[in-house]
Amino acid sequence: MASFAITYHIRTYRERLIMTSRHRIEERIAKKELEIQELEMKLREAKAYIQALQDVMKMMPKDTGESASSNSTGSDSSFREGSYVSDARNAILRAGRPLHVVEILKATNRPNDRKNRIGMAGSLAAYVRREEVFTRPKPNTFGLVDLGNVAPSHQQTAAPSASVRPSPPDDFGMDPSEEETAH
């Protein structure tokens, strides 16, 4: 009977030990599952944050990191590929001269309809007003600042060259009041 009591105690001790170990393992599992849930929550928050930043970035102009001087010359092609501005710049560069809006649309394989003419002219006119990248030498005709396609009004204000001297007007030096009395 003593052996039965010893066997019983050993068995109950072993069962308690197993139960205690099992309980400890279950606690560790629960603790790790809680950690995983917290990490998953942080991961979802981080993904949402990245998505929000990407949405904001889509609304911003593509060339925000560049200096104003590189944008004003238009020497870089930082325009979005396939945009009116990028296509027009490439078409004018290929032609090497100012192009009318209709010619630009034809060169960019866009349909010559009212929507595209207005869209193209409006996009390029914004750069002309800021005196960046594009010029407007004639109505609805656009050139590039890089190519020296300056509007006629700017050409007239430039100093005349020494070899060409304009002659004075025919009525130069005459008093307008004398002209009325002579007739």
pLDDT at 51: 85
Report if residue 104 sits inside a domain. Answer: yes
3-state secondary structure the chain: CHHHHHHHHHHHHHHHHHHHHHHHHHHHHHHHHHHHHHHHHHHHHHHHHHHHHHHHHHHCCCCCCCCHHHHHHCCCCCCCCCCHHHHHHHHHHHHCCCEEHHHHHHHCCCCCCHHHHHHHHHHHHHHHHCCCCEEEEECCEEEECCCCCCCHHHHHHCCCCCCCCCCCCCCCCCCHHHHHHHC
Range(s) of the domain holding residue 102: 74-154
Residue 31 forms part of a structural domain: yes
Q: What is the pLDDT at residue 34?
A: 95
- 150 and 81 inside one domain: yes
- Asked, for residue 63, whether it belongs to a domain, the answer is no
Same domain, 83 and 133: yes
pLDDT surpassing 70 at residue 15: yes
112 within some domain: yes
Q: At residue 94, does pLDDT exceed 60?
A: yes
pLDDT digits (tens, 9 = 90+) for 50-90: 888 887 777 777 664 444 444 444 444 577 888 889 899 99
The string of pLDDT tens digits covering residues 143-162 is 998 887 655 544 444 444 44
53 located within any domain: yes
- 48 within some domain: yes
Tell whether 81 and 49 lie within a shared domain: no
Q: Which residues contact 54 (CB under 8 A, 6 or more apart)?
A: none
Rounded Cα gap, residues 75 and 73, in angstroms: 5
Q: How many domains does the chain have?
A: 2
96-124 pLDDT tens trace: 999 999 999 999 999 999 998 998 899 89
Q: Do 45 and 88 fall into the same domain?
A: no
CATH of the domain at 125: 1.10.10
21 is a domain residue: yes
pTM over 0.75: no
Residue type, 155: Q
pLDDT score recorded for residue 37: 95
